[in-house]
Structure 1
Amino acid sequence: MTLLHPYYIIAIIYMLIFSIQEVYGRKVDKKWFWLLGAYFVIIAGLRNDVGPDYGSYLGIYIYSDEKSYYSIFMKMLHMEGPELLDVEWLYTLINKILLNIFDAPFYMVTFVIALFAMFFKVEYTDDNTFYPFTFTLFMFIPNFFIGESGQIRQNLGTFIVYFAIRFIKERKLWYYLFFIFIGSGIHSVCYLFLPMYWLARIPLNKTMMLLMIIGSILLSPFEVYRVLGDFLGGMASESSLVEGFNGYVEISAQRLNGGFGIPEAMMAILTFFLFVFDTKMKEYFPYYEYHRNYAVVGICLYFIFRNNPIFSSRLAGAFIGFAYVIIPNAMYVVSSRMKNMIYAFIISLVVFNFVVFGYFNNIKAGRFSIDLYRNHVLP
Structure 2
Amino acid sequence: MSLLHPYYIIALVFMLIMSFQEVYRGRVEKRWLYFLGIYLVILAGLRNEVGPDYGSYKGIYIYSDTKEYVTIFLKALRMEGNQPMEVEWLFVLINKILLNVFNAPFYILTLVIAALAVFFKIEYIEDNTFYPFTFMAFMFIPGFFIGESGQIRQNLGSFVVYFAIRFIKERKLFYYLLCIYLAGGIHNVCYLFLPMYWVARIPLNKAVMLILIITSVFLSPFEVYRAFGEFLNNVAADNTLAMGFNGYIDETTQRLNGGFGIPEAMMAILTFFLFAFDTKMKEKFPYYEYHRNYAVIGICLYFIFRNNPIFSSRLAGAFIGFSYILIPNTMYVVSENTKKMIYTFILALVVFNFVVFSSFNNIKAGRFTIDLYRNHLLP
Task: Show the counterpart of 1:293.
Answer: 293
The yes-or-no answer on 1:69 pairing with 2:69 is: yes
Task: Show the counterpart of 1:277.
Answer: 277
* Distance across 2 between alignment mates of 1:243 and 1:121: 23
Which sits farther off after the overlay, 217-226 or 55-64?
A: 217-226
Task: Show the counterpart of 1:355.
Answer: 355
Task: Show the counterpart of 1:196.
Answer: 196
* Distance across 2 between alignment mates of 1:327 and 1:246: 24
Residue 104 of structure 1: SS of its match in structure 2?
coil
Shift in Å at residue 100 of structure 1?
1.1
Shift in Å at residue 362 of structure 1?
2.2
Task: Show the counterpart of 1:367.
Answer: 367
Q: 1:52 touches 1:248 (CA, 8 Å); kept in 2?
A: no
Q: 1:2 touches 1:363 (CA, 8 Å); kept in 2?
A: yes
* Distance across 1 between alignment mates of 2:278 and 2:290: 12
**Percentage of identical aligned residues:** 74
* Distance across 2 between alignment mates of 1:199 and 1:209: 14
Shift in Å at residue 350 of structure 1?
0.3
* Distance across 1 between alignment mates of 2:339 and 2:198: 32
Question: Aligned ranges for residues 1-379 of structure 1 at < 5 Å?
Answer: 1-246=1-246, 249-379=249-379
Q: 2:150 touches 2:244 (CA, 8 Å); kept in 1?
A: no
* Distance across 1 between alignment mates of 2:212 and 2:248: 31
* Distance across 2 between alignment mates of 1:276 and 1:129: 19
* Distance across 1 between alignment mates of 2:299 and 2:249: 19
* Counterpart AA for 1:3: L
* Distance across 2 between alignment mates of 1:350 and 1:230: 38
State the Cα deviation string for residues 246-279 of structure 1 (Å, max 9, x = none): 4665311111001000000000000000000000
Shift in Å at residue 241 of structure 1?
2.1
State the Cα deviation string for residues 114-159 of structure 1 (Å, max 9, x = none): 0100110000000000000000000000000000000000000000
Which sits farther off after the overlay, 335-344 or 360-369?
A: 360-369
Q: 1:248 touches 1:365 (CA, 8 Å); kept in 2?
A: no
TM-score, normalising length: structure 2: 0.99
Q: 2:151 touches 2:242 (CA, 8 Å); kept in 1?
A: no
* Distance across 2 between alignment mates of 1:62 and 1:367: 23
Q: 1:53 touches 1:245 (CA, 8 Å); kept in 2?
A: no
* Distance across 1 between alignment mates of 2:139 and 2:220: 26
Q: 1:98 touches 1:104 (CA, 8 Å); kept in 2?
A: yes
Residue 213 of structure 2: SS of its match in structure 1?
helix
* Distance across 2 between alignment mates of 1:175 and 1:365: 40
* Distance across 2 between alignment mates of 1:371 and 1:349: 26
Residue 52 of structure 1: SS of its match in structure 2?
coil
* Distance across 2 between alignment mates of 1:263 and 1:244: 16
* Counterpart AA for 1:232: L
Shift in Å at residue 236 of structure 1?
1.3
The list of structure 1 runs, each at least 4 consecutive aligned residues, that deviate by more than 6 angstroms after superposition, is none
* Counterpart AA for 1:375: N
Q: CA RMSD in A?
A: 0.9
**CA pair 238-245 structure 1, distance change in 2 beyond 3 A:** farther
* Distance across 2 between alignment mates of 1:79 and 1:136: 39
Q: 1:99 touches 1:105 (CA, 8 Å); kept in 2?
A: yes
State the Cα deviation string for residues 326-365 of structure 1 (Å, max 9, x = none): 0000000000100000000000000000000011122111
Number of matched pairs:
379
Q: 2:248 touches 2:360 (CA, 8 Å); kept in 1?
A: no
Q: 1:154 touches 1:189 (CA, 8 Å); kept in 2?
A: yes
State the Cα deviation string for residues 83-115 of structure 1 (Å, max 9, x = none): 001000000000000011111000000000001
* Distance across 2 between alignment mates of 1:239 and 1:314: 10
* Distance across 1 between alignment mates of 2:238 and 2:351: 32
Residue 84 of structure 2: SS of its match in structure 1?
coil
Residue 378 of structure 1: SS of its match in structure 2?
coil
Q: 2:245 touches 2:362 (CA, 8 Å); kept in 1?
A: no
Q: Where does the alignment leave 5 or more consecutive residues of structure 2 unmatched?
A: none
